[in-house]
Amino acid sequence: MPKKLVRLGLAAQGRFWGIAAEQALKQRLLFTMDNSSNIESVVMRRVRRISWLRIVVSGGVFAFGVAGIALWGIGKEVWVAKVFENGPQDFFGHLRYLVYAFLHTRFVVQGLVVITVASFLFFAREIVRGIVSYYAPLGG
């Protein structure tokens, strides 16, 4: 056990790994530090970074992976290049053609398209949540 923890009395209490111990350690270290140290800002910057990464990684990676697998499935089921090649070249005509092609394709392809769109929407939602929580003020 490091001397600093023994000196602070946390090792003897047996609470070193708990949340209460972390808070006690922080309070005791803040009382022993002078105000010119920037350790609290460094720690809080790391906490914000970890919380942002936790939000993005938790659902975002899963959604991105599901979208990738669904796109791979669409690529195996449909010759995507021919779908875009056969349609009209103006925007609205192409949009109508894609809706018609979606409605008249097999159920498996329709399901994969819906899963892909839902996964990308969920991924975008996770990114926005991460950005908002990153820039939210701490301490309310």
Residue with the two structure tokens 């922080």: 26
Give the pLDDT confidence score for residue 131 in this predicted structure: 85
Give the pLDDT confidence score for residue 48 in this predicted structure: 86
Q: What is the pLDDT of residues 113-130, one digit of tens each?
A: 999 999 999 989 988 887
Give the pLDDT confidence score for residue 11 in this predicted structure: 47
pTM: 0.54
